[in-house]
Structure 1
């Protein structure tokens, strides 16, 4: 497009009178649409990959460029497209933090400092985790693969709910398998339980009858398997009645007979409720919290659970002397430097 053609477009579209979010929305969306799809973000990612100094090392590896772009877009839609329908509206764009993240990516030379959506390290952690679980590398994951996630931290009952596609319909067309996009949503939900999209994801899983409330019977159904697992690893079992009192004290629900999604969204400890019910490793870690880690959290409260997890995982991956590689060996080596 020539300079004059661009100026004509800008003036005729009345762009000068719009705020930046509306400008971006109108530039990206397809004619006749009042929403953005995942495909609408691909030009932005192509431009970012071709011009950002922090992503130059990917220019000779188109497969990694493609995976990075996909992951960024999936992260955007997980957090910003709150309706979850794949159609991101102008209202959602304005309510989210995507515009500020785009501006940050434009200004910051180190892409890994752009924690919202664009960090290469965050992409690397997600992709490596998927690759570790996808043992036959067909880019599909089944229940048994997910059971291995987080050192077998999740219960079979919660994994069944995920694969019943209760919290979100899979984009994979293969029955009983989740694809990479489905995994990204799952992993963000699992590792960032303080976020509202994550709370909504797991709330749907626990809400067995879909009536919008979590009853004590529903929560006990999931905790029963946790109790059995505690006994199997010689942990002192905790009675559900005691756990229930602890959860009520944490959430302070409007009605003590059940929890609503609003109850959970109003409490900073809500994510731990789900760990109690179906993630034994995180449940036990919380019960024996390291004071040093707690101090770290207080020192930088702007970091999310996901930010902290991704940083730990990236350091772990970087320290591992593993000869296995994804794509070319040169790419693997560069990413760990």
Structure 2
């Protein structure tokens, strides 16, 4: 009993000593904080103890001393690390430095090979599906007896599958799939499996594209894209009948779409992540199907039918057969109603050779005219319409282009429409932030930018707008 009392007394004494030490430390910290506050007050007021203004040098010294006091715990024992900033930028090897170039290429190849081995192959995907089927999940009649798994089964499959599958079985993945399906604590097994397959495909494609990224900076130049597409063509069944003499033109046609839509600043390269996130690669790989319907092929820019159509139009416009298009030859494009004012601006704005347009520049124009609803196409056409290069279209600019429409109307024996009426309709349609000028963002935001530019650049577009109600009625009767 006496031993118990002694132990209790010792514990109380130890606790009292600890409390005393803690109190002393707290008092010391309070004094330090008060001292620092006084220094900061003097610094802020720019006054010393005598009430007179202190010099700039003294003020800076006071600030530095205060900073060191405040951040002393972080600097203690590691002060040298703040004096030496580690290297974070590494220059690319020079083109003439063969050894460095080869070392970089080999290193990147080894890295991509390592990443490729981390992906699931076909046998591992089949193993995953068998685990999903054996998970004892619930089935629902409303979803055609589809397998549904909850989070506990989700974790169980992750443990059974092994470490290679864990990146695909995170809580975030389950939460996103659950939210997408609107379920409560459960996801469909087929949705999970499709997610894993899609992610594996994206990673494989990312690695495949990276092999053509010579600099390793995450970009593909036009030459890199053309090399990738040229090596991909033999695996596309829908292109089996493509003539070898047309292959180079096909590759150029296909690569140009990536650059037109994914390179808005026209720097001659596209980001690999942008290539993966857009639908163009899906459209290109869709051509692996042997029995792709002709209707789908005609709608697909990358199909042989579409490429031959575009190239055939180019050859038909080239009346002097010199491989280039003059402004007079381009005037026959489409319905032949593109205004002279618009065509002149195209040749002023775009790259030409001795006043004539090559095939690549022609492709940009075709992509812009055939995809007028897309922001990239509107940006292209806006640059052409912006005759003063001021970033907006005002009444003067609209009148400049619509005057050419009026001239075409007179040439066709029609009575010209009053410009003020058309101008008011365009501004009412776009509803710009500034009521006196229309910017590119106004065109995109309104959702009617394609209609506005069509009114200004070709008679056919203006006629379609003027007769929209009659055309709509005819379409309903048909």
Above 0.5 in TM-score? yes
Deviates more, 1:239-248 or 1:265-274: 265-274
The separation in 2 between residues aligned to 1:106 and 1:53, in whole angstroms, is 5
The separation in 2 between residues aligned to 1:55 and 1:41, in whole angstroms, is 18
The separation in 1 between residues aligned to 2:374 and 2:249, in whole angstroms, is 24
Structure of larger gyration radius: 2
1:75 pairs with one of 257, 271, 288:
257
- Structure 2 match to 1:92: 274
Gaps of 5+ in 2: 1-107, 120-199
User: By how many angstroms is 1:276 displaced?
Assistant: 1.2
User: By how many angstroms is 1:101 displaced?
Assistant: 2.7
The separation in 2 between residues aligned to 1:293 and 1:90, in whole angstroms, is 45
1:46-57 aligned at under 5 Å gives the runs 46-57=230-241
The separation in 1 between residues aligned to 2:301 and 2:313, in whole angstroms, is 17
Per-residue CA deviations over 1:24-54 (Å, capped at 9, x if unaligned) read: 4422211344421122123432334323221
**Alpha-carbon contact 1:29-1:40 (below 8 Å) kept:** yes
Deviates more, 1:113-122 or 1:65-74: 113-122
Q: Structure 2 length normalisation: TM-score? A: 0.54
* Shift in CA distance, 180/15, structure 1 to aligned 2, threshold 3 Å: farther
* Shift in CA distance, 76/287, structure 1 to aligned 2, threshold 3 Å: same
**Alpha-carbon contact 1:76-1:117 (below 8 Å) kept:** no
User: By how many angstroms is 1:233 displaced?
Assistant: 1.2
Correspondence 1:155 to 2:339: yes
Deviates more, 1:136-145 or 1:280-289: 280-289
Gaps of 5+ in 1: 1-5, 297-337
Per-residue CA deviations over 1:222-245 (Å, capped at 9, x if unaligned) read: 111111221221222111110011
The separation in 2 between residues aligned to 1:245 and 1:96, in whole angstroms, is 37
**Counterpart of 2:219 in 1: which secondary structure?**
coil
Correspondence 1:241 to 2:420: yes
Correspondence 1:285 to 2:464: yes
* Shift in CA distance, 11/57, structure 1 to aligned 2, threshold 3 Å: closer
- Structure 2 match to 1:251: 430
**Counterpart of 1:259 in 2: which secondary structure?**
coil
User: Which structure is richer in relative contact order (CA contacts within 8 A, separation 6 or more)?
Assistant: 1
**Alpha-carbon contact 1:55-1:111 (below 8 Å) kept:** no
The separation in 2 between residues aligned to 1:134 and 1:193, in whole angstroms, is 24
Deviates more, 1:102-111 or 1:279-288: 102-111
Q: What is the RMSD of the two structures over their aligned residues, measured on CA atoms? A: 2.8
The separation in 1 between residues aligned to 2:346 and 2:117, in whole angstroms, is 43
